Structure formats: structure tokens, C-alpha cells
Chain A
Amino acid sequence: MKRTTRWGGLAVLLGAVVAVAAIAGATGGHAATDAKKPIVIGWAFDAKGQMAPFDDPALAAAKIRVKQINAKGGVTKRKLVIKTCDTQNNNPTTAKACAISLLGQGANIIFTTCDVDFATPVVQAAINRGVLAVAPCIGTDQMGPKRFAAKGKLAFSFGNVAQDEGSAMAQYAWSRGWKTAGLGTNTLLVYFKNVVQAFDKRFRQLGGKIVDRESYATGANNVNSAVTRLNSHKAAVYVTSTSFGELPAFVSGLRSLGNKTPIINSWAGDGTYWVTNNPKVTNYYFVTYASVFGDDPSAPVRSMIAALKAAGSPPSTGGFLGGADAIDGIVIAIKRAHGSTKGSALAAQLVKFKRVPVLGGRISFSAKLHTVFGRDYRVIEINNNKAKLKGLVRAKVIPKL
């Protein structure tokens, strides 16, 4: 009796092992099918609110880019798919719900809006689950461990980091022979402040002199006082980083005093939505990702702009490029990570990016800077309300702020 039970038990055990092996084999076959599952990008974006002018073009460009990549076979034999969710003017509850829903739908990577404060609920939802969080155009270095601690290692922005922009602006100014500068800082955003601080440091490093520093704030109606005081200090160039209402107030404010000094702005000053007829905008410069005025030097960028126009989303600023570059960057990172879409694996690849080619040019990240630096900025000049490409500039040094 005992011997029979022992052999019987062994038979059952063997049977179980065979069964498990068979199941494992079947699952292994299922895993092979897994590899064909699409890579899902879950994008929580602001369709119609404050950030829509930035999020919409980036999304449109990303969609075109995804189409192009899928047409060539996708990434490691998998197709890219973008699933979107409207955060409704970045309402925090809606944004969080969007993130959770997208993750629930199997998003491998989460994309979010172009402002780090608004993006926070989405970023946290993603990085807490070990999923990579990407923004197409956040401009400060806060999209990373600086803001989100250890888990923030999984957060990246394909926007230009403010320090890089400010440094590039300083370099351009110096290359034009402008040796003195007056600075006007809009204190509303960290981004605005960082751009000007970076300009300040780099310009002096190059040998330039800052003749005056003023500040003003959005909504405080004090652009005028700042401008009047800047005007009383003669400089070869006036520098600011601002957009919307303060921009024409600043530029018109100076020009109506008869001051013809060149003014230079960061990407914040991209676009012509703000130009006044009275006085016309003259001698105004800004740096941006791409020229949307028909004269961008890169052919692939020009065709992307054409594709966007054809798709019914003509870009008004160069910010759309962040969306395309983000797709390119992710694709390269996935390839370098041997097909893994795990957050940590992708992050490990991204921080090693040095002059990696994407649609917009070459981009870099570092362990300290999870926001792009090293782009070739297009310098655009607006004269008589007409915008034209003036040249390219790349920051050689990134000042520490």
C-alpha cells in the first residue's frame, strides 16, 4: 500500500510538472505575441484651456511623427499608439483621473502638459508606478529629481531648459557686438526668472556689462515703471523673458519713449499674436525651436510644418517641435534599452543623451538636467511686424543657477 501511494504521488507530481511546463510553453508563446502589442503613450493634455496653445501643437506634431514612424515599421517591431485625455484646463482632479485612466488603459509612457505646476498630478501618478513621465515643452529644470525627489528620475522634458536659452541669448547678443545690457525680469514664473538669470551670468562671463536690472510682474501693472527706468540706462540690448500682455506693454513701452534699442526675448516671446500696429514692432529678437515663418533652415522641420498645416493645425510658435522631438527621443531610448518600456530603463538611457539627433536637431540630457539643452536655437527678428529668421545659436556653457 505504501509503495503504491509513493509511486502514485510521484506520478501526480510528474503530471503536474508536465502540465505546468505545457502551460509555461503556452504562456511563452503568448509572450511572443506580447512583443507585437503596441507601445502606448498616454497623453494628458489641455485641449482648450490656458496651456492649449502649447499642448495642442505638440500633440499634433507628435501624432504626425508617430504616423511616420509606424509607416516605417514602428519601434522594435511594435507600433506606437497615442491615447489622449483632456485635463480640461489642467483641473487637478481631472488631470489625476486622466493619468489613472490612461495608466489603466495600459499606457507604457505618460506624456503631460507644458507647465510643471499643472503637470504635477499627472507626473506623480506616473512616476509612482515606475512609468516614465514626459513633457514636450516644460522650460525649467524642475521636471525631474529637483521637484519630484528620487522618483523624479523618471521625469523628463523635451523643452529647452531656461538656463540653456538664457545662455544662448547672451551668446547671440555678444556675437552681435552688443556689450551692455539692461535686464527686465517678469517675476511670475521660475522659467522667466531663470532665463534672465542665465543671461546675466553668461553675458558677464563673456565680458559684457549689465547696466540695469528691473523687475515687473504679470497683472501688477508695473511694466511701465520698469520700462521707464530701463530707458534711463542706455544699453546695447534690453533683455526679458515674458509673453502675453506684458510683452507688448514692455516693447511698446520702450518704443514709445523713442528708444530704438534691440530687445531680445526667450521662447516665451515666440509668435506674432501680440504685435501692435501702433507702434509697429521693430528690432525685436527671440530664440525658438523652429521658425514657423517659412524660413526654417531644416528641411525635415519645414515638411513637418507643412504636414501640420495640411492636418489643420498650423503652428503659430516653434513649440510644436517639442512634441515631435519627444517621440523621437522616446523611440531612441526604447531602442537603446533593447525594447524595454520600463520607466527606469528608459530614464537610464535618456540621461546619457549627448547630441542625439531628433527632428529638431541634436539634444542632450544629463543626470542633473532632465530638460533638454544644447539645441540649435533659431534666432528670429521681428521688424515692422514681419518675422524673419536671423540665424542660429547654440549655448556653449550652461550657467549654474
Chain B
Amino acid sequence: MPEAAALELDGIEVRYGSVSAVRDLTLSVGKGEIVGLIGPNGAGKSTTLHAIMGLLPAHRGEIRLHGQSLRRRSAEAIARAGIALVPEGRRIFGDFTVEENLRLGLAARRQAYIGDALGPAFELFPILAEFRRRQAGALSGGQQQQLAIGRALVARPDILLLDEPSLGLAPLAVDGIFQAFTEIREVGTTILLVEQRAQRTVALANRTHVLVGGELQMTLGPADAEDTDKIIAAYLAS
């Protein structure tokens, strides 16, 4: 069990109009943990991340960062409080250089840095250093994903939220980023990972929650990674 929860969701409900996309969701992420969130399309996984990030209002329930409520704060305030989101589809600025994209990530930093502010990104993904003056739009899909993650990391966030980072990536690239997640965890950054690749996520994460139809169906541990029946059953349950 995690000691002090870095991020807590307490019975949150998120609505689109009159429809509840997420219902009564409770989960917590401890410091230095990777918690996975998997489930079929439309299950409310992205919605959950958007609610944490303040892009969507939580109709009910509480979202706490180190015990402090995040409700009704703007996205930029939440970013500056130490949560970084790597959004679905990466959303990098294609016309800007790699370096400029990374520098944008510094907007959320909480203190001045000694040495190369962009260090965390370059150390984790050396290719970004090599391409620092290139137009971001010219990078491959995998490299752009690395850029998006690097951009989130340069702010030295406490919590890293990732929305389907492996989407549209070649297997080698997927390997690369999942490797990066373990390295990030080693530094003590907490990760909440929303993914379509159920097996890899279950194998990697301390804990993986299965979200179906907006509700938490079950929680899996790394030991269940090989148990495909169990995973399928979880997906089909509703």
C-alpha cells in the first residue's frame, strides 16, 4: 500500500452535458508509483486525466494533490502546482523547433534551475539534444512522443499524466517510451498512465485500474499481466 498519496481521486463524477462520462471514481497514486488506467474506448480514461488537469470540471467528488484540493483551479495553475499532462495526440508545436517546444514546458516550473534547464529531457531522450534545432513537425511519431514527454518533464513535475502515449507508434518506439517510464519512476516522479496496451501497462505499473463505462471495474497487479482471460473479462464487465 502507498504511504502518502501524491494524487487522490475521491468519488469524482465528470459529465458531458447530462451524460456522466466518469462515475464515482476513487483511486490514489502514491509518490514514485506508476498507476495504470486501462479500458475500452469511451470508458472515460481521457476524461479522468482532463478532470485532474482542470480542463474539465468535476461535477462531484474531490481531486487532491498532496492533500490539497485541485477543484476549480485552472489548467495553468494546476500545471504550475506540479502536475504535467502529456496529452493524447502529443500536441506538439510543429512549427517551432524542438528546443522551443521544450522551453515551453518550462512555463510550469516552480523554481529556477542551475545548469541546463532542459537537462531532464535530453538525458532521458538523447535524440532530442541531437535534433534540438530541428522543426518539431519534421520528427517521426516516436520522436515527437519523446518530445512531448520531455516537454512535460522539464518542469520537474511531481505527477506525470500520460494520455495514450503509445498510440500510433511503431513497436520499437513503444519499447523506448515504456523503458523511459521506468527511468522516470526511478527518479521519484509519480505517473498516472492511461493506455490502450493493456498487457504492457499491467506488467509495468504498480497497480492498474480497469475503467469500463465510466466506472472502476477491477484493479490488477503486475502478476496478472500474463492472465489474458482475466484482462478480457475485466474489459467485458460493465
Verify whether A and B have any Cβ pair under 8 Å: no
Chain A residues in the interface with B (C-beta under 8 A): none
B interface residues, Cβ below 8 angstroms from A:
none
